[in-house]
Structure 1
Amino acid sequence: MAEITAKVLMEEFELTLLNDEESVTFRPVTTSDISRPGMEMAGFFTYYPAKRIQLLGKTEMSFYEQLSKEDQQDRMVRLCTYDTPAIILSRGLQPPAELTEAADEVGVPVFSADMSTTRLSSKLTTFLESKLAPMTAMHGVLIDIYGIGVLITGSSGVGKSETALDLVRRGHRLVADDSVEIRQEQEGVLVGRSPELIRHLLEIRGLGIINVMTLFGAGAVRNEKRIGLSIDLEAWDQKKQYDRLGLDEEHLKVFETDLPKITVPVRPGRNLAVIIEVAAMNFRLKRMGINAAEQFSERLTSVIEESDADQD
């Protein structure tokens, strides 16, 4: 999980720092939830979520202006805690003196944004959910095939990178090779990307490192992609019984998400790029409600039932 501070938000959303920079402490933001302290402005601090970013809009500040001087000072002192990562005023609003004084006392940065309160809250939440999402790294290759993010896994040397190169030559887009950083942005949504160090690079044994974007153009790569399907390549085992109909469903569990998984045996003569390409297209058809394996099973059952009826 990346560490996000108020300084990162200031640079990302072009926020203006309104209080004393020397007094500010850029604390880490630990939650994507945003707080609009309306109840707190009225004096109810029993369940005050101090560790959230506090967003003050026109409604909160209009109510604040109606308070007495003593209440105004009290509200701002209680609003600014050592746990509060930042206070942001929307619509270009300027902070009252009570707020800047209280914020400087404990080092809370106070920012101003030109956006409306609702839009700013939405943008902040989306950005923080992406950055604070749980993340892991997996050994494999991630390819965008017909709009489906396909994670190709398997033991070292099984042919993942060579298959990825063949898929790129067929017009598909490389996301990551060797190491795939996966984050769960929300339940059931996995997004993969490449580490910065090896972005757009592909390692081919005997050939070395190649830059896919330089060789095949910008249309052959993308920085990240939602993962929809996992394909595991394994050396062909004569003793193992492989699924020949496609009725069996396997899953790869990443965080709390069950990713559909297909095991493809590898042996000389099999065109893995074509097999994976067709697997991605078949996966799209299944999501559209067309399942060839189930249709075949239903036909077979129908034929058997008709045969039994004729015998009777």
Structure 2
Amino acid sequence: MEQFTVLDLLDLDLKENNDLGLVCIGGRSGLLRRIETPELNRPGLALSGFFDLFGAQRIQIFGRGEQAYLERLEQQETLESVERLFQSSIPCCLFTHGLEPTPSFARLAEISGCPLLQTNLDTSEFTMRLIRALGNVFAARKTIHATLVEVFGIGMLLLGESGVGKSEAALELIERGHRLVADDAVEIRRVAGNILMGQGANPALGHHMEIRGLGIINIAHLSGVGSIRDKKQIQLICRLEAWDASKEYDRIGADEQSYEILGVATPYIEVPVKPGRNIPIIIETAAMNERLKKMGYYSAREFNQNVMRWLDSENARKAYLQKKGI
């Protein structure tokens, strides 16, 4: 990813329960300092003079405890540990609860060019929001040619060669009440270890679609804001491909397939496309079937079990009749 700075942190466009409420209260000359890790640090031990294994590359969070200790250092005029803190080239210092740094701390921050940030949020709430925000910023990501739709609450990534009908299938799904996330270029991020989140690769393009013979259309304007969403977890991957008569397609679905993106394996199906096949309704059925699987109900497995029970009972019946000489 491109370098992420303290200024970028201040400029993050986060809303509602994700808003960090950050303002810069000092050290503005260092706003272009790079933040290189999503990990955070509470510098209580460092302020007491213990710098072994100090996380200098992390954002330093100052809560009420650290603030009280800074005030004690200010009164005792023992600022050696604070001076050493700023010699570590930390990205920035961040004060929660609307706290203000002590005068000596603010002066040393200005001298070293270390940004001082402030939020009115309490430490625990702010820490959770900041971890989410940085986790998204530093998440592994890639952009692929695909279409992402939400069908019955399931995030479905439609893959396939250009012209196979991904956008047309998505358009029909939108008409049936489902929602578009992104078309043509989908940016995928791996968050929380094993969750794939998809969104449009270029937010400036919004929820537009290219339909051959028609051109570019704006789904939000044509179908309303209820037909779109900004991002969605990818829970099922569906590849649309031209029908190949020589290929053996899965007709039962007992053997589940997966498709790996960014090291995360996701349920995967292949849907052959040919005239006469209603692809949108097949996609809807696949989404409903995936929801059933998440609830622990597997249609293909139940079918196999029923067949095996029937075969066992039929064999037992034949053996019984043979034994009786019937």
TM-score bucket of the superposed structures, by smaller chain: over 0.9
Deviates more, 1:226-235 or 1:29-38: 29-38
The aligned amino acid for 1:80 is F
1:28 is aligned to: 34
Conservation of the 8 A alpha-carbon contact between 1:129 and 1:185: yes
The CA distance in 1 between the partners of 2:145 and 2:93, in whole Å, is 40
The aligned amino acid for 1:19 is G
Which of 27, 36, 45 is residue 39 of structure 1 equivalent to? 45
- The runs of at least 4 consecutive aligned structure 1 residues that moved more than 6 Å come to 68-71
Matches within 5 A, 1:222-241: 222-241=229-248
Match status 1:110 vs 2:145: no
Gaps of 5+ in 2: 13-19, 320-326
Match status 1:140 vs 2:146: yes
The CA distance in 2 between the partners of 1:223 and 1:25, in whole Å, is 29
2:282 is aligned to: 275
Conservation of the 8 A alpha-carbon contact between 1:142 and 1:176: yes
The CA distance in 1 between the partners of 2:99 and 2:53, in whole Å, is 26
Conservation of the 8 A alpha-carbon contact between 1:26 and 1:108: no
The CA distance in 1 between the partners of 2:27 and 2:150, in whole Å, is 47
Matches within 5 A, 1:54-65: 54-65=60-71
Give the SS at the match of 1:245: coil
The CA distance in 1 between the partners of 2:25 and 2:262, in whole Å, is 40
Give the SS at the match of 1:18: strand
Conservation of the 8 A alpha-carbon contact between 2:254 and 2:300: yes
Pairwise CA distance, 1:115: 1.3
Q: Compared with structure 1, are the counterparts of its residues 190 and 83 closer, same or farther at alpha carbon in structure 2 (3 Å cutoff)?
A: farther
2:222 is aligned to: 215
1:206 is aligned to: 213
TM-score (normalised: structure 1): 0.95
Which of 298, 310, 319 is residue 303 of structure 1 equivalent to? 310
Gaps of 5+ in 1: none
What fraction of aligned residue pairs are identical, expressed as a percent? 38
Pairwise CA distance, 1:69: 6.5
Q: Compared with structure 1, are the counterparts of its residues 2 and 145 closer, same or farther at alpha carbon in structure 2 (3 Å cutoff)?
A: farther
TM-score (normalised: structure 2): 0.91
Matches within 5 A, 1:145-294: 145-194=151-200, 195-294=202-301
Pairwise CA distance, 1:4: 3.0
The aligned amino acid for 1:179 is A
2:324 is aligned to: none
The CA distance in 2 between the partners of 1:218 and 1:25, in whole Å, is 37
Give the SS at the match of 2:136: helix
Q: Compared with structure 1, are the counterparts of its residues 223 and 116 closer, same or farther at alpha carbon in structure 2 (3 Å cutoff)?
A: same
Give the SS at the match of 2:26: coil
The aligned amino acid for 2:56 is A
Deviates more, 1:101-110 or 1:74-83: 74-83
Conservation of the 8 A alpha-carbon contact between 1:141 and 1:179: yes
Conservation of the 8 A alpha-carbon contact between 2:25 and 2:116: yes
Conservation of the 8 A alpha-carbon contact between 2:22 and 2:118: yes
Q: Compared with structure 1, are the counterparts of its residues 68 and 208 closer, same or farther at alpha carbon in structure 2 (3 Å cutoff)?
A: closer
The aligned amino acid for 1:152 is L
Pairwise CA distance, 1:8: 2.9
Pairwise CA distance, 1:3: 4.0
The CA distance in 2 between the partners of 1:207 and 1:91, in whole Å, is 54
CA RMSD, 1 decimal: 1.7
Conservation of the 8 A alpha-carbon contact between 1:187 and 1:256: no
Conservation of the 8 A alpha-carbon contact between 2:73 and 2:79: no
Conservation of the 8 A alpha-carbon contact between 1:82 and 1:107: no
Q: Compared with structure 1, are the counterparts of its residues 72 and 302 closer, same or farther at alpha carbon in structure 2 (3 Å cutoff)?
A: farther
Match status 1:124 vs 2:149: no
Pairwise CA distance, 1:145: 0.6
Give the SS at the match of 2:239: strand
The CA distance in 2 between the partners of 1:4 and 1:311, in whole Å, is 73
Match status 1:48 vs 2:54: yes
Conservation of the 8 A alpha-carbon contact between 1:64 and 1:72: no
Give the SS at the match of 1:269: coil
